[in-house]
Structure 1
C-alpha cells in the first residue's frame, strides 16, 4: 500500500491511498463469494454461482461497490496507521479509481490532532502542601470512632432534653381517619436531631417518662406524600422511656474492641497514619492538578471543536446510560437539577477542553521523551480494569489486551508516565497546610 499526506488547512489533511491491484482483486473475490451465498439464480446451487453469471444478473458495478463497502474501512485504517496520521473525526472518502485488475485509489480528507507547541515542561516551579496531622485532629477522629461504639442506657433524668433518645408510641389522625404512616409503637427517636417531624421533636422536650401529649401538625408542600399536603393531623405521643448515649472510655480495652490493637496508643498511631495518608493523596492530587494547569498555560494548541464535542457527547451518553440503569430519565433528571441539556453541554465543554488539552500535551511529552509501555504493563492494567466487573471479567480482559482496547490502555499508561516524569522533575516548594475543606474543587487529572 502506498500513502501520501497533504496538508489541506489547519488540522486537516488529505491522505492519498493506493491499494495494490492484487489486494483489491482479493476484496472483489470475497464480494463475489459473499453474494453467491445470498443470491438465488435458477439453475445454480446456493454458493456455486459463477462470477460471470453474477455480473450478468447484478452488474459489475454492484460487485465493485460491495467490495469497496466491505474492504475500504480496513484499507483506510491501515493507511492511517502507515502514514502516522491521528484522525479526530470521520473521514470524507473520495474514490479516484476502482477497477478490477487495477490499484484501488482513494482520498481520505480528515481532521487530525493539532500540533502542540510546548514552551516548558521540565523543571516547573510548583508548590506542594505540607502534610501535618495535629493531636486535635486525631482526638476528633477518635471521638467519631467512640460514637460508633456508644451504647444507649436508661437516663437518670425524668424529663426529656435535646440529645436524649426516647422510646415512644405514636398515633396520628386526620379528622376521624387514622394516618397509617403516623402509627408506631416502641419507636426510637433522637430528640433535636432534625431527622423527624419538627413539631414532634419540639413537643417531646420537657415531657416526663409515662406522659402522653396531643399535638397538631400541618403538612407542608415539601411532604413526600401529596395526599396529605396542606392538611392537619393530630398526633398522640406516648413517652415510654428516656435514654442517653454512653460512650466507652478511650482505653486499651476500647482499642481492642475497634480492631487488632493492643493499646490505645496503637489505635491513636493508626488513626494518625490514616489521616496522614489521606492528606498525602490530596496533596499529590493538588500537585498533579497544578502541574497540568501549568502545562496548559505553557502550550499553544488550536484544539478542533470536534474533539471537545465528541468528549461531551460521550459523557452525556454515559450519564444517560447510568440513569437508565437506575430507571431514571435524563430529561427528568435535568429538570430536578434545574438544568437544561444545553447547560449540561456547556458545563461539560469547559471540563472537556481542559482534558483534551491535557491529553494532547501528555501525548507530545511521551513522544519527545520516547516513553514506552510494554505488554506486561498493558496486561496488568487490563487485569485491574477487568476486576471492576462482577460478571464479564474475562471478556473485559480479552478486549483490553487486544487491538483497540490494548491501544486505549497503552495510550493511557503513556500519559500517566508523561505526567509522572513532569512531577519528578518539578522544582518543589512546600507550603503550610491551609486547613481542611480548601481546594475542594480540584479537577481530576
Structure 2
C-alpha cells in the first residue's frame, strides 16, 4: 500500500491511498464467505456456495463492494499511522478509482491535531488575588450558624424584610388561573428573592389575612416568561428569634467551649476555603499564561461542535432554573452578541488548552493507572449525585472510559505545570500550591524517593499499562 498526505490547512489533511489488488485478497475471501452464508442456491449447502456461482447469482460487483467496505477502515488507519496523523473526527472517504483486478485508490479528508511548538512550561509566572478573610465574612458565617438554631415566633404586625410568612399564591392570565399556578401554605422568607419578580415588594407591609395582586412573569412551566397577574395572600407572619452569640451558644452549636474559640475556627475554615479558591484561580491563571505563549491553529469544525454543545448545555440549565435567555442576559448585564463572543472565546481557549495539555502529557510520558481511574470515577459520580458503581457501569457500557482517561491525563499535566509555576499573590507573596491539601490546609513536603522523585510522581508513573494522551 502507498499513501500520500496533502495538508489542506494546518488542521485538515487529505490522504490519497493506493491499495494493490492482491492486498484485497483476504477481504475478497471474507466477502465470498459472508455472502455464501446469506444466499440459498439449489444444489449447495448454505455457506458452501463456490465463488463462481456467487458471481453468477449475485454479481462480482456486490462481492467487490463488500470487500472494499471491509478493507477501507483498516487501510485508512494504516495510512494515518504511516503519516503520523492524529485524527479529531470521522473522515470523509471517497473511492476515486477501482476496477476488478486493478489497484484500489481512495481519498480521506479529516480534521487532524495541529502541529505546534509547545512553549516552555517549567517556570510559568502568574498572579492571583490575596487571601482576605474579613470580619464581615466571619460575622456572616456566625449569623448563618445562629439562624440554624433560631426559632420562629408569630407576630401581630405587618411583614418586614427578614420575616417568615406563610402565603397562598395564584397566578392568572387574562382572568383565568394558569395551570399549575397555585400554591397554598408555602413558607417564604421576605427579601430572599429568587422566586417571582415583585413578590418581596408586595409582601413588605402586608399583615396576616391581607392579600395583594401584582404583575410578574412565570419562571417555569409551559408559559415560562409570560406576563401574569399574581395574587398573594398572607396567612401568618413570623419573626426569627436568634440565640445570643455567647459561650453557651458555642457549646451548644459546636465542640468549642467559648465563642472566641468558635470564632477563631470559623476564621480558619474560611481561610482554608479561600485558599482553595485561590488555588483554583492560580490554576486558571497559569493555564491562561501558558496559552498566551502558544499559537495553535484550531480546527473550526471542532470549535463549532463545542460551541453548539455548550449553547445547548446553557439552554438546558436555564430551563432547569426557570429562566429565559432574555432574563439571564438581563441579570448578567450582557447583550446576546457579548454572550456569544464570550462563549466563543472560552471555547477556543478550552480547545487550545486540550491540545497543549495533551502535548505536555505526551512529552512527560504521563500515564493513568487503575487507582487513578477509580478515584476519578468516584469523584465524577459524586459531582453528578449518582451512585459510584452505577456511574462506573454506565461509563463502561457506553465506552466513555477513553474520555475519562483523557480528563485524568490532562489534569495531571496541568497539575505538573501549576506546581512548577511561580505564582504570587497581589502582595508579592509566593502562593503554596504543591503541598496544598484537599481541605485547604498546607501539608508537609513529601520526602523524595531513593531515585529522587516524589512519592506522588512515583504513584503517577507506576502503572502496568500507562495510557498516553
- Structure 2 distance, partners of 1:27, 1:36, is 14
- Structure 1 distance, partners of 2:291, 2:146, is 46
Alpha carbons of structure 1 residues 309 and 140: separation in structure 2 relative to 1, 3 Å: same
- Structure 1 distance, partners of 2:227, 2:11, is 62
Alpha carbons of structure 1 residues 31 and 268: separation in structure 2 relative to 1, 3 Å: farther
Give the structure 2 partner of residue 69 of structure 1. 69
Alpha carbons of structure 1 residues 337 and 60: separation in structure 2 relative to 1, 3 Å: farther
The residue correspondences of 1:307-322 to structure 2 (distance < 5 A) are 307-316=302-311
Matched, 1:202 2:200: no
1:276-296 deviations in whole A, cap 9, x for unaligned?
222112212222222222222
Alpha carbons of structure 1 residues 374 and 344: separation in structure 2 relative to 1, 3 Å: same
TM-score (norm 2): 0.67
Moved more, 76-85 or 195-204: 195-204
The residue correspondences of 1:105-254 to structure 2 (distance < 5 A) are 106-153=106-153, 159-160=157-158, 162=160, 198=201, 201-204=204-207, 217-220=212-215, 222=217, 243-254=238-249
Matched, 1:379 2:365: no
SS in 2 for 1:299: coil
SS in 2 for 1:300: coil
> Is the 8 Å Cα contact of residues 2 and 17 (structure 1) preserved in structure 2?
yes
Cα deviation for residue 424 of structure 1 reads 2.2
Cα deviation for residue 359 of structure 1 reads 1.6
Alpha carbons of structure 1 residues 132 and 47: separation in structure 2 relative to 1, 3 Å: same
Cα deviation for residue 334 of structure 1 reads 5.0
Give the structure 2 partner of residue 208 of structure 1. none
Cα deviation for residue 68 of structure 1 reads 2.0
1:96-132 deviations in whole A, cap 9, x for unaligned?
6657888755443333222223454332222133323
Alpha carbons of structure 1 residues 5 and 49: separation in structure 2 relative to 1, 3 Å: same
Alpha carbons of structure 1 residues 311 and 64: separation in structure 2 relative to 1, 3 Å: same
Cα deviation for residue 426 of structure 1 reads 2.1
Match for residue 298 of structure 2 among 303, 309, 326: 303
5+ long unaligned stretches in structure 1: 205-211, 434-445
> Is the 8 Å Cα contact of residues 167 and 232 (structure 2) preserved in structure 1?
no
Match for residue 393 of structure 1 among 381, 391, 402: 391
Alpha carbons of structure 1 residues 69 and 281: separation in structure 2 relative to 1, 3 Å: same
Cα deviation for residue 85 of structure 1 reads 0.5
The residue correspondences of 1:44-55 to structure 2 (distance < 5 A) are 44-55=44-55
Alpha carbons of structure 1 residues 65 and 341: separation in structure 2 relative to 1, 3 Å: farther
Alpha carbons of structure 1 residues 85 and 152: separation in structure 2 relative to 1, 3 Å: same
Alpha carbons of structure 1 residues 245 and 57: separation in structure 2 relative to 1, 3 Å: same
Cα deviation for residue 65 of structure 1 reads 1.1
> Is the 8 Å Cα contact of residues 386 and 397 (structure 1) preserved in structure 2?
no
Match for residue 404 of structure 2 among 386, 409, 417: 409
5+ long unaligned stretches in structure 2: 429-469
> Is the 8 Å Cα contact of residues 21 and 103 (structure 1) preserved in structure 2?
yes
- Structure 2 distance, partners of 1:130, 1:247, is 34
Cα deviation for residue 238 of structure 1 reads 7.9
Cα deviation for residue 308 of structure 1 reads 0.9
> Is the 8 Å Cα contact of residues 24 and 103 (structure 1) preserved in structure 2?
no
Alpha carbons of structure 1 residues 45 and 321: separation in structure 2 relative to 1, 3 Å: farther
Cα deviation for residue 170 of structure 1 reads 8.5
Name the count of aligned residue pairs: 406
Moved more, 58-67 or 86-95: 86-95
SS in 2 for 1:25: helix
Alpha carbons of structure 1 residues 199 and 129: separation in structure 2 relative to 1, 3 Å: closer
Task: Give the alignment's Cα RMSD to 1 decimal.
Answer: 4.8
Matched, 1:362 2:374: no
Matched, 1:26 2:21: no
> Is the 8 Å Cα contact of residues 131 and 271 (structure 2) preserved in structure 1?
yes
Matched, 1:430 2:416: no
Give the structure 2 partner of residue 282 of structure 1. 277
- Structure 2 distance, partners of 1:323, 1:129, is 31
- Structure 2 distance, partners of 1:144, 1:168, is 22
1:40-60 deviations in whole A, cap 9, x for unaligned?
445545444333222112221
TM-score (norm 1): 0.70
- Structure 1 distance, partners of 2:403, 2:368, is 14
Moved more, 418-427 or 372-381: 372-381
Give the structure 2 partner of residue 438 of structure 1. none
> Is the 8 Å Cα contact of residues 18 and 105 (structure 1) preserved in structure 2?
yes
- Structure 2 distance, partners of 1:228, 1:19, is 67
Give the structure 1 partner of residue 416 of structure 2. 421
